[in-house]
A and B are shown apart, each in its own frame.
Chain A
Amino acid sequence: MGLQLRSFTLQALATAGGLSLLLPLGGCQPSRPSGAGKPSLTLGAVIALTGNASLIGQDQRLGLELAQQEYGGRQPALNLRLEDGGSDEQTATLALRRLLQEPVVALIGPSLSQQAFAVDPIADRAGVPVLAPSNTAIGIPEIGPFVSRVSAPVSKVAPLSIQAARRLNPKLQRVAVFFAQDDAYSTSETKIFQQSIRSLGLNLVTVQRTSTADIDFQKPIADSLKNKPDLIVISALPNDGGNLVRQIREMGYKGLIVVGNGMNSPNIYAVCQRYCDGLLIAQAYSPETDTPINQRFVALFKQATGSASPPQFTAQAFTAYQVIHQALEQLQRQQANGQPLASMSLAELRRQLNSSMLTGTYATPLGKLKFTPQGEVIQQEFYVAQVAMDTTGKTGRFKLLSNPAPDLR
């Protein structure tokens, strides 16, 4: 009897708990300070803080926070609203729609190109500028007039690391390619890698398809090692790619490995550990760039983390925020008799911000940037880095190769 009573109480409690969770659904959204009245604008960001792209998202969150610290207080004041977009389209859609409920002037994100194809059209239809800090797949700026990016497209960056591998080992001939077939970015990047391998006259001996959800890669690795490759090229995301590298090394492969932009983060150290050593990765950013803005960015990064070499995703996220802020500053200067931007209608502000953003030139940590009218970034400098792990195998750094690729298009 006592037991029955207890179990009923438990059930009642849990039902009440479940219902209380549903309660906010019926009511209205708890109101947030809308910023109306005081001259502060809101900037939204949809970043992958969970799921298999979360290692990228962590880097980006830091970049946005550093930029908020640097620019948020300057006029026109900006508030950052960061939402977790997950690593899939549904979560990103919900996060983006949630941000569209707020008076955001522009959006930064999402982390993955695949998500961008799903959510950018929503923002574009709503007339909200979206600036992508890490979408490098082909076709992103073409989504709509309000979509642009600061991340150089894969077609510019990816071939450089193959050329670098060739310089490190001029005798290499046989190339094996791996790519995550269920990831939009990786399938887009591998096409560029394969083209570039063929155009250099190398022999593409095998193409292995993996999945971002895979953990065990024994079978595809064994299949590719049978072909005796002397270069392995991987397009994948940090978690699966890191495991893939680790297992390739564990299975005895000694040659060079080139990885794509999906793994362009020090967060892979924790996954492949000492086996990360020697990975070649093309970079759109170099911590060693000798410009005032980059020195400032590196100093901020060092203050926050203690390390002096920010990853590319952090630099790109910082740059995205910076570009939007500077475009707003420019817009503010153009206002007759110094009207605050917040007094403009939101739709008009968004439209003007978009055109101001695309016409400006920006000195950023990535170097000097500008945009094509369509929203594609025009960037001058690219680099190739090689991962050098320390003796403990726990941490390492991206060491830039001294010889940047000669044939930039």
Chain B
Amino acid sequence: MEAGLLVQMLLGALLGLSVYLPLRCGQLSLATPGFFAIGGTVAALLSTRVPALAGSGSTYPIASVLLEMVLAALLTGVLALVLGRMVLRLRGIYLAIATIALVEILRVVTLNLEFTGGAVGIFGIPQPFQSAEGYGAFTLVLLALVCWMCDRLEKTRPGRAMAAIRDDELAAASQGINTADTKLLAFVLSALVAGITGVVAAHFLNSWNAKLGNFDASITTLAFVVLGGSRTWLGPVFGGLLLTALPELLRPVGDLRLIVFGAVILVGPLIFPQGLITLERLQALWRRRPPWLALPSNRGRR
């Protein structure tokens, strides 16, 4: 398979996880592309404007990318902390609207600021890897780390508190869970993941502009989770991988490919209202494993 597509699929999976984190405590936040855009802008600005980061070799040093990731994480984390305090008083559709507004504000601001390059954006972003394979390996490690974090989250107290809030916020609060702080934690984690993903995406895409964090991106990333499932972290990962790859895999279909893609997004949730990957389905798959599958991948254990 083409390595470039694999990188975009992995980035899609990371963004899916970013939408999934607030959904774990029942918060429908569409702010992911906003934080993604901030991360990308930070990386684009630092790598094109700060000569000290460029190093002496022919490729851009990975240490600088890591530094950009730390800075992007700091910026998005602080922003999410401040904004989260305000917007997380809203629930359901109102929170969704407020987060869409955030994405729009960031987009319009980026379009109109001189130093972010306006509509053209910032281009000629230096490359830390010579080939798409390098990006693939780097993003895979990043995805594995975030998956590990999500997996830990599902098994530790904050993660269980999130699940409790999702099922019944009032009941959770009456059990002594600090619902405000738990929701804020999920929101901040979501922002961190999106911001860090933005850094990798900016280098991978060469150029960065406001279009990358728009309302369309909010809906696409939400579709990752809706199709994949929001009950376990495998859902958004699978949804992100599948929905990013699908338009490309359908290229042989020709002009019909986006129609088929749309049909998949439409039909998927109709047949699987809980998403493709649910705990029940994973357990069922595990129980029905064919005998030759003596040592299968341990994803059925989840």
Q: A11-B271, A50-B258, A97-B4 are in contact. Are A183 and B251 (CB under 8 A)?
A: no
Chain B interface secondary structure, helix, strand, loop or mixed?
helix
The distance from the CB of A297 to the nearest CB of chain B, in whole angstroms, is 25
- Cβ–Cβ < 8 Å partners of A114 in chain B: 119-121, 209, 211
Please tell me if the beta carbons of B206 and A118 are within 8 angstroms of each other in the complex: yes
Number of residue pairs spanning A and B whose beta carbons lie under 8 angstroms apart: 113
Nearest chain A residue, comparing its CB with the CB of B108: A181
Given the known interface contacts A117-B120, A121-B206, the answer about A89 and B212 at a Cβ–Cβ threshold of 8 Å is yes
Q: Known contacts being A14-B272, A98-B2, A117-B121, is A182 close to B207, with CB within 8 Å?
A: no
User: Given contacts A122-B206, A186-B119, is CB(A21)–CB(B211) below 8 Å?
Assistant: no
B123/A117 in contact, CB under 8 A: yes
A16 and B8 CA atoms in complex are apart in Å by 24
A21–B246 contact, CB under 8 A? yes
Q: Check B1–A18 contact: CB distance below 8 A.
A: no
Whether the pair B206, A83 counts as a contact (CB closer than 8 A) is: no
Q: How far is the CA of A27 from the CA of B1 in the complex (A)?
A: 7
Let me know if A101 is at the binding interface, CB within 8 A. yes
**Is B4's CB under 8 angstroms from A24's CB?**
no
Query: Are A91 and B247 closer than 8 Å at their CB atoms?
Result: yes
What string of 1s and 0s marks CB contacts (under 8 Å) between A89-128 and chain B? Answer: 1110110011001000000000001100111011001000
Chain B residues near A125: list those with CB within 8 A: 127
Which among B2, B132, B206, B272 has the highest number of chain A CB atoms within 10 Å?
Answer: B206
The chain A residue with its CB closest to the CB of B257 is: A84
B261 to chain A, nearest CB (A): 10
Q: Taking the complex as formed, is A88 at the interface, i.e. its CB lies under 8 A from any CB of chain B?
A: yes
Least CB distance from A212 to B in Å reads: 9
- Given the interface pairs A94-B248, A181-B111, the reply to whether A14 lies near B118 with Cβ below 8 Å is no
Task: Give per-residue flags for A128-149: 1 if the beta carbon is below 8 A from chain B beta carbons, else 0.
Answer: 0000000001000001000000
* Residues of chain A with a CB closer than 8 A to B281's CB: 11
A: contact size bracket: 35 or more
A10 touches B205 (CB 8 A): no
List which B224-262 residues lie within 8 A (CB) of chain A: 241-242, 245-249, 251, 255, 257-258
Which residues of chain A are near B118, meaning CB under 8 Å? 181, 187
Query: Which residues 156-213 in B have Cβ within 8 Å of A in the complex?
Result: 205-207, 209-212
Complex Cα spacing A405 to B88, Å: 59
Residues in chain B near residue A18, CB distance under 8 A = 242, 268, 276
Q: Would you call A88 and B119 a contact (CB within 8 A)?
A: no
Contact A94 B8 (CB under 8 A): yes
Chain A residues with Cβ under 8 A from B124's Cβ? 121, 143
Q: Is B106 an interface residue (CB 8 A)?
A: no
In angstroms, Cα B207 to Cα A84, docked, is: 20
B5 within 8 A of A: yes
A69-100 interface code vs B (CB 8 A; 1 in, 0 out): 00000000000000110001111011001100
- When distances are taken between beta carbons in the complex, the residues of chain B under 8 Å from A89 are 205, 207, 209, 211-212
Asked if A160 CB lies within 8 Å of chain B CBs, one says no
Shortest beta-carbon distance from A370 to chain B in Å = 27
Q: Are B1 and A118 in contact (CB under 8 A)?
A: no
Contact B271 A184 (CB under 8 A): no
CB-CB contacts below 8 Å: A30-49 with B: 49
Cβ-based interface call for A29 (8 A): yes
Does residue A372 face the partner (Cβ distance < 8 Å to B)?
no
Are A90 and B205 closer than 8 Å at their CB atoms?
yes
Cβ contact within 8 Å between B205 and A49: no
A98 to B251, CA, bound (A): 11
Q: B48 contacts the other chain (Cβ, under 8 Å)?
A: no
The complex places the Cα of A182 from the Cα of B212 at a distance, in Å, of 11
Any B CB within 8 A of the CB of A22: yes
Query: Do B207 and A24 touch (CB < 8 A)?
Result: no
Q: How far is the CB of A255 from chain B (nearest CB, A)?
A: 27
CB contact under 8 A between A21 and B249, given known A28-B1, A97-B4, A118-B123: yes
Q: How far is the CA of A21 from the CA of B260 in the complex (A)?
A: 12
The answer on a CB contact under 8 Å between B120 and A188 is yes
Q: By the criterion CB–CB under 8 Å, are A182 and B210 in contact?
A: yes
27 sample A-B contacts, Cβ–Cβ < 8 Å, listed by A number: A11-B271, A14-B272, A15-B276, A18-B268, A21-B245, A24-B1, A25-B1, A25-B245, A93-B8, A94-B2, A94-B4, A94-B8, A97-B4, A98-B2, A98-B248, A98-B251, A101-B2, A118-B205, A119-B206, A121-B124, A143-B123, A180-B119, A181-B118, A182-B211, A184-B119, A184-B209, A187-B118
Kindly list the 10 A-B residue pairs having the minimum CB-CB distance in the complex, ordered from nearest.
A97-B4, A118-B207, A117-B123, A187-B119, A184-B120, A117-B207, A121-B206, A184-B119, A14-B271, A25-B1
